[in-house]
Chain A
Amino acid sequence: MKNKTIALLALGVMLLAMLAAPLAAQKNPKDPFDFPQLNPLKIPPVTQRTLKNGLRLYLIEDHRFPTIDMRGMFFASSAFEPAAKAGLAALTGTVLRTGGTERLPGDRIDRELETMAATIETGIDSESGSIHVSMLKENLDQVLPIMADILRRPAFDPEKIELAKIDARTDISRRNDNVGQIASREFGKLIYGSRSPYARQAEYATIDAIDRDDIVAFYKDYFHPDNMRLAVWGDFDTRQMIRKIEAALGDWPAAGLEPPALPGVDYEFRSTVNHIEKSDVNQSNIMIGHIGGLLSSPDYAALSVMNRILSFDRMFKKVRTDEGLAYSVWGVYGAGYKVPGVFSAGAQTKSGATVKAIGLMLDEMRRMRSQEVSDEELRRAKDQFMNSYVFQFDSRAKIIRTMLTYAYYGYPLDYSEQIFRKIETVTKADIQAAAQKYLRPDQVQILVVGKQADFDKPLNEFGTVNAIDIAIPVPAGEAAPEATPESLAEGRELFTRAIAAAGDPQKIKAIRSVRMESDLTQSTPMGEMTMAAEVISVYPDKVLFALDTPGGKMNMVINGAKAVIRMPQGSMPLPEAQRKSIMENFGRDLYYVWQNAERYQFQALGVKPFAGREAIALLVSAPGVSYHLFLDPQTLLPSGMSYQTLTQEGPGTVEERVSDYRDVDGIRMPFKSESYAKDKKTSAQTVKTIQINAEVSEELFKIE
């Protein structure tokens, strides 16, 4: 067991030297710029201790108030949740606390804690899992066991999971209520990519896809003592506190698991102009930027000084004070601990000044690169850092929380001092060099949320405008009116007639396999690409999907719960999300549905538009699957279907249109199909041959 004490950077002495120095230039001689010496900082050192199970503790006593606070951090991230279950980490973080423990139900914990005026809060975001505990010191012996139980023996009560899901769905339904929220969310997607774990959002479909097993599994992966850092501050005796924490958490077994690395960010600099229409506002919310960097960058000190000058001396003084165009305006090169931050400049201005404000902000970015800052600006910015440095250490809570953060991200514990020393040496040339290296005013992404008709000039002044649709995807089952016995009976009847229109219903029920060869045309960012494809479906649970790609033959094989992908460079298990998605396709297969019709519900929805024509709409659903089926009013043959799923651009509606029905062994089958995701065509398929009940070797589906 280690037990070491670290001194606080000899801070007192340093601050004293720094702050006692009178300023060189004095603007107003009558003002007292001759400062007395600053008293030294007398805050005692932080104690560090690592328990046998790997839990690392940081403690500092503060006897001024009769309270104790704790903050624990776990290596966890929403980036580790599957995209199809976006929202899993946040739900886990919530229900960890609300879902109770083996000993106490969640509601009882709420009451017990509040009766003591104590709080325990937990959460998981893209950077960490966390727990924060606050209490009066006399309740330590009641609160600590509850905290330990929450971390070690959470119950994840299904009712509280449902409650958290209602909360999550409500958040989704409300996410377009606030302009600022829309702007920052969509800007994040522009920078990191809409599918990036750092920008993606939960959807109804992804929340629905989460079950208790997922939550328990996510918790088990990350909540371990050797994956935890815990800071404790307040009115206690350090030795006694360590003993109590050891008693509560010391026998929590270590997992010995290495937490996965956070996914990286792959940014390609580009210029884009994006608009989100809000017809009910008179002010545009503008964000401009590109990817930012890391706090560990060797240029971080220069960038910090640049940020102060760009944001205040430039953006604020120009856009707000001189032009009166905005209340809040900024330009900041953001840096993250482990994940690159975002450079963003932004303002909210009246609709009629939108283009003008964007132009001014871009000018200031350019000026930052083209000219050195003035001596005055540099002096002021550096003085500000030096003179306000003491505020980074003006309370024990701040000191220990900063230390916990550095420890968590693996930064040196004295990192702020290192930056501080570097800032002292930053020159005008350093700032200009940093601006030239890190600011790309000619490769920015521009986002405006506002009412286009009132803009001073069209946004295409800056490039082709991309309209972003922020409509919230509605789950397939939801848009439908409530089912009645009549609409269900009518729906089943219609489906039966659709099958009869295709062929002998008994014969269709007896289909064992379908083998289909076709040309598949896929829309890719590089343009359209056509490949030969072969699909063999063996009912009820086997699929083989073979594709001739430019990189060689690719095979995906699914056999019930097992799935594999085979490529020229070798085989690997098919990711679970993809396997599920393909099996869901199976659940929408016309013949499969007919063969399992007793498990399905068919609801008639009347006549609806589909692919530019009228169609008879049915809502077809069974546990885990739900889609709209559209029938041609004349022939009653299916003309296509639509459903919610995860598309290339995040969750959305996919539409499949089929046509060119031909006879195959007495069954009418479509030979043409097209897929649309969020109204954009993503693929087309032209069938060459179809064989029903062909001999299919079992070997094809063998998965080791």
Chain B
Amino acid sequence: MTKKSTRAATVLTALLAFCLGGISLAGQSMDKMKARIQEKTLKNGMKFIVMEQREAPVASFHVYADVGSAQESYGITGISHILEHMAFKGTTTVGTRDFAAEAKILDELDRVFESLSLEEAKLRPDEKKVGDLKARFAELQNQAKDYVVNNEYFDLVMQQGDTGVNAYTSYDATQYINSLPANKLEFWMAVTSDRFLNPVFREFYKEREVIMEERRLSVETQPIGKLLEDFMAVAYKAHPYHHHVIGHMSDIQAIRHQDVKDYFKKFYSPSNLTAAIVGDVDAAEVFRLAELYFGRIPSGPRPEPIRTREPEQWGERRAAVTAQSQPVLLMGYHKPDVRHADNGAMDALANILGQGRSSRLWESLVKKEKAATQVACFNNFPGEKYPNLIAFFSMPSKDKTVAQSLELIDREIEKIKREPVSAQELAKYKRMTKKALIGQMKSNARMAALLTQYDVVQGDWRLVFDELAAIDRITAADIQRVANAYLLAGNRTVSEIVPEKK
């Protein structure tokens, strides 16, 4: 026994020395990659970032709109996501048999819906009028259908071999992605610029129904979905991270076609869009085509930044969701946004505490105390553009409680505030982060996402590469300092799923 552990200890020491000595990891190939990236801002303000990757004749396309659910106010929660759905409904030429005729019916539909909403909002709605308007609305919807070429945008890009057509809306951003054979570059330019130049939000009222199903699917029938919604609502009382990306059901039901058109006008001007293309493409050719196609979009002002900030917290907050589920713990502490000088140390803190099988929380909660089967800590939750949370998540083992998990997490938090982390833990963090970054770079699609995200949120895509140097500068003292600055009971929200008693 002693012999074994001595040998193991020697191996570990040797490794540690090796890791601490060998941190200049992959510096060269990083520089080479950086050299393959070019950027250009079009005259109308839209920015293109291109990375030439010649491994295979394919390319990934990423358009990042700097608008997410954090831009939404009361009454229109969920509208960023609704707009994302509507962006697949076609344009004045895609998705229609006769746009001129179709447009008349769409306008009429909106007018009828408006009248219907007004009538229904009255204290004593005229029931006959409501019935008539509903019938007229249904009739117009059927008429509109006759002009629609169902899902023509999807058909168009998939027919050309798109394997990655999709879009995502988050608290911070709305992102549109495609992956095509590289010879479809100009095709992508034409079709995608059309989406932002001539969008038509047809089938709007049906699509709202789809989104309601999406809300039921991801929030209302999922105990963890419910927990996430309530956790954020309690952790944020003022800042719009307060509401879920999908929005409140009543808002989804009430948002009008015109609301979406206004929202598009406000947030989709070229200066608010950033595109990245990674793959077997020529940067000069990309820039030429981009000016030709996307250059057609008229420029507009950048939207005003949001005003509301989350005020200082007045004490620990709690939330509980009762559900037909086993218990779950989700907890978070407020901290600054990703651009703040402390963010790097917070990343390291989250990793050392709760990422990986040898992290402190896993060692304690899962391996030693057997109080949980899953435990994790993540920084920059649920977004990174605005001041956000460092969050802790635990799934208690069978017959164990949320309280036990919380107590053990608290113990580790106190410890990391009291004593500096070890050199080995810090080295481990640095190495894991670099390896993870290399992993991201292997995929064209993920690289395109990374470049736009860094460029928009952090202000420069070059930081993807420079961040490695910044990570090397983080010290154990930095980590101890940020732990003491942010991991304070009065600064946190603790939420849990409480199993429903049958």
Question: A residues bordering B, Cβ < 8 Å?
Answer: 15, 19-20, 27-28, 30-33, 35-43, 64-67, 103-105, 107-108, 110-112, 114-117, 136, 138, 142, 163, 166-167, 169-174, 176-179, 278-283, 285, 312, 316-317, 320-328, 348-350, 379-380, 383-384, 386-391, 393-397
**B271 within 8 A of partner (CB):** no
CB distance from A36 to the nearest CB of B (A): 5
The answer to whether A383 and B159 have CB atoms under 8 Å apart is: yes
Instruction: Report A-chain residues with C-beta under 8 Å of the C-beta of B143.
Output: none
> B251-271: contact bitstring with A at CB < 8 Å (1 yes, 0 no)?
000000000000000000000
Query: Is there an interface contact between B56 and A41, defined as CB atoms closer than 8 Å?
Result: yes
Please, how many angstroms separate the alpha-carbon atoms of A51 and B94 in the complex? 57
Residues on A with beta carbons closer than 8 Å to the beta carbon of B154: 312
Taking a contact as CB atoms closer than 8 A, the residue among B182, B183, B211, B397 that contacts A327 in the complex is B211
Whether the Cβ atoms of B221 and A179 lie closer than 8 Å is yes
- Residue in B323, B398, B443 with the greatest tally of chain A CB atoms within 10 Å: B398
Partner of B19, one of A30, A116, A172: A116
One of A28, A43, A67, A388 near B162 (C-beta < 8 A):
A388
Contact A320-B210, Cβ < 8 Å, known A28-B93, A67-B438: yes
Interface pair B222/A394, CB less than 8 Å apart? no
B187 & A31 in contact (Cβ 8 Å cutoff): yes
Contacts of B434 in A (CB 8 A): 117
Other-chain residue from A65, A114, A278, A349 in contact with B213 (beta carbon distance below 8 A):
A349
Q: Which of B212, B222, B358, B367 contacts A179 (CB 8 A)?
A: B222
Residues of B within 8 A of A397 (CB): 442
Given the known interface contacts A115-B428, A282-B216, the answer about A170 and B358 at a Cβ–Cβ threshold of 8 Å is no
CB contact between B431 and one of A108, A116, A176, A387 (< 8 Å): that residue: A116
- List of A residues within 8 angstroms of B195 by Cβ: none
In the complex, chain B residues whose CB is within 8 Å of the CB of A396: 55
B237 at the interface (CB under 8 A from A): no
Q: B163 within 8 Å of A by Cβ?
A: yes
- Taking a contact as CB atoms closer than 8 A, the residue among A15, A65, A163, A317 that contacts B370 in the complex is A163
- Nearest-neighbour CB distance to chain A for B121, whole angstroms, equals 23
Chain B nearest CB, measured from A330 CB (Å): 14
Enumerate chain A residues within 8 angstroms of B94, measured Cβ to Cβ: 28
CA distance A394 to B208 in the complex (A): 37
**Chain B residues with a Cβ under 8 A of chain A:** 4, 7-8, 11-12, 15-16, 19, 22, 25-26, 29, 54-58, 93-94, 145, 150-152, 154-156, 158-163, 179, 181-184, 186-187, 189-191, 203, 205-214, 216-217, 220-224, 280, 323-326, 356-358, 363, 366-367, 370, 373, 395, 397-398, 424, 427-428, 431-432, 434-436, 438-439, 441-443, 500
Across-interface contacts of A104 in B (CB, < 8 A): 4, 8, 11
B347 to chain A: closest CB distance in Å?
15
Q: Which of chain A's residues have a CB closer than 8 A to the CB of B441?
A: 65
Q: Are A170 and B57 in contact (CB under 8 A)?
A: no
Task: Report the number of A-B residue pairs with Cβ-Cβ less than 8 Å.
Answer: 238
- Cβ-neighbour of B183 out of A35, A177, A281, A395 (below 8 A): A35
Contacts of A35 in B (CB 8 A): 183-184, 187
Taking a contact as CB atoms under 8 Å apart, the answer to whether B358 and A114 are in contact is yes
B contact residues around A391 at 8 Å (CB): 58, 161, 163, 179
- A528 vs chain B, min Cβ distance (A): 35
Chain B residue nearest to A172 (CB atoms) is B398
Of the candidates B222, B223, B395, B427, the one whose C-beta lies within 8 Å of that of A115 is B427
- Contact partner of B155 among A15, A349, A380, CB < 8 A? A380
- From DSSP, what is the main secondary structure of chain B's interface residues? helix
A326 touches B182 (CB 8 A): no
* A38-B183, A170-B395 known, 15 other contacts, Cβ within 8 Å: A35-B183, A39-B183, A114-B432, A115-B19, A115-B427, A116-B15, A169-B398, A177-B223, A177-B324, A280-B500, A322-B206, A324-B207, A383-B160, A388-B181, A390-B58
Whether the Cβ atoms of A37 and B26 lie closer than 8 Å is no
Residues of the B chain whose Cβ atoms lie less than 8 Å from the Cβ of A40: 57
Cβ-defined contact, A348 with B161, below 8 A: no
B25 close to A136 (CB less than 8 A)? yes
A16 to chain B: closest residue by CB = B57
List 30 A-B pairs, Cβ < 8 Å: A28-B93, A31-B191, A33-B187, A35-B187, A38-B57, A43-B55, A64-B442, A65-B438, A67-B438, A105-B8, A107-B367, A110-B356, A114-B428, A115-B424, A115-B431, A117-B428, A163-B366, A176-B324, A177-B325, A178-B223, A280-B500, A283-B217, A312-B154, A317-B150, A320-B210, A350-B212, A383-B159, A391-B58, A391-B179, A394-B55
Pair B22/A138 contact, Cβ less than 8 Å? yes
Q: Return A699 CB to nearest CB of chain B, in Å.
A: 50
Q: Is the interface of A mostly helix, strand, loop or mixed?
A: mixed
| Minimal Cβ-Cβ distance residue in A for B33 | A64
How far is the CB of A459 from the nearest CB of chain B, in Å? 18
Nearest A residue (CB) for B186: A32
Choose one: A115, A173, A348; the contact of B15 (CB below 8 Å): A115
Q: Are A108 and B12 closer than 8 Å at their CB atoms? A: yes
Whole-angstrom CA separation of A35 from B183 in the bound complex: 6
> Are B25 and A387 within 8 A (Cβ)?
no
| Known A-B contacts A35-B184, A348-B217; A323 and B55 likewise in contact (beta carbons under 8 Å) | no
A235 to chain B, nearest CB (A): 9
In the complex, which residues of chain A have a beta carbon less than 8 angstroms from the beta carbon of B183? 19-20, 35-39
Is the CB–CB distance between A41 and B431 below 8 Å?
no
Chain B residue nearest to A204 (CB atoms) is B398
Residues of A within 8 A of B438 (CB): 65-67
In the complex, what's the smallest C-beta–C-beta distance from A207 to chain B, in angstroms? 11
Q: In the bound complex, what is the Cα–Cα distance between A36 and B289 (angstroms)?
A: 14
Could you say which residues of chain B place their CB within 8 Å of the CB of A115? 12, 15-16, 19, 358, 424, 427-428, 431
Closest to B372 in A: A170
CB distance from B263 to the nearest CB of A (A): 21
Q: Which residues of B contact A37 (CB under 8 A)?
A: 183
CB distance from A602 to the nearest CB of B (A): 24
Q: In the bound complex, what is the Cα–Cα distance between A386 and B159 (angstroms)?
A: 9
Asked whether A166 and B442 contact (CB < 8 A) given A43-B55, A114-B357, the answer is no
Task: Kindly state the separation between the CA atoms of A64 and B137 in the bound complex, as whole angstroms.
Answer: 58
Residues of B within 8 A of A317 (CB): 150-151
B217→A324 contact, CB < 8 A: no
The 9 closest A-B pairs by CB, nearest first: A387-B161, A324-B209, A117-B435, A283-B216, A327-B214, A394-B56, A388-B161, A324-B206, A117-B431
Least distance between A277 CB and chain B CB atoms (Å): 11
The answer for the CA separation of A278 and B184 in the assembled complex, in Å, is: 48
Known contacts A65-B442, A115-B424, A43 near B324 by CB under 8 Å? no
- With a CB–CB cut-off of 8 A, which chain B residues contact A383? 159-161
Q: How far is the CB of B139 from chain A (nearest CB, A)?
A: 16
Which of chain A's residues has its CB closest to B94's CB?
Answer: A28
* Most A Cβ at <10 Å: residue of B221, B223, B373: B221
Q: Is the CB of B216 within 8 A of A321?
A: no
Expressed in whole angstroms, the Cα–Cα distance for A422 and B373 within the complex equals: 47
Residues of A within 8 Å of B397, CB to CB, are 166-167, 169-170
For residue B161, give the distance in angstroms from its CB to the closest CB of chain A.
3
Residue in B159, B206, B326, B428 whose CB lies within 8 Å of A177 = B326
Residue in A closest to B285 when the chains form the complex, CB atoms: A36
Chain B nearest CB: distance from A620 CB in Å?
Answer: 23
CA distance A663 to B56 in the complex (A): 87
Question: Chain A nearest CB: distance from B5 CB in Å?
Answer: 8
Q: Which residue on chain B has the smallest CB distance to residue A391?
A: B163
B58–A394 CB distance below 8 A: yes
Distance in Å: Cβ of A30 to nearest Cβ of chain B: 8
Q: Measured between C-beta atoms, what is the minimum distance from A486 to chain B in Å?
A: 24
Q: Which of A15, A177, A285, A395 has the most CB of B within 10 A?
A: A177
Q: How far is the CA of A172 from the CA of B373 in the complex (A)?
A: 12
Minimum CB–CB distance from B57 to chain A (whole Å) comes to 4
Q: Are A384 and B158 in contact (CB under 8 A)?
A: yes
B373 touches A350 (CB 8 A): no
Q: B122 CB to closest chain A CB, in angstroms?
A: 26
Contact of A31 among B190, B208, B326, B395 (CB under 8 A): B190
Interface contact B213-A108, CB-CB below 8 Å = no
A64 to B357, CA, bound (A): 29
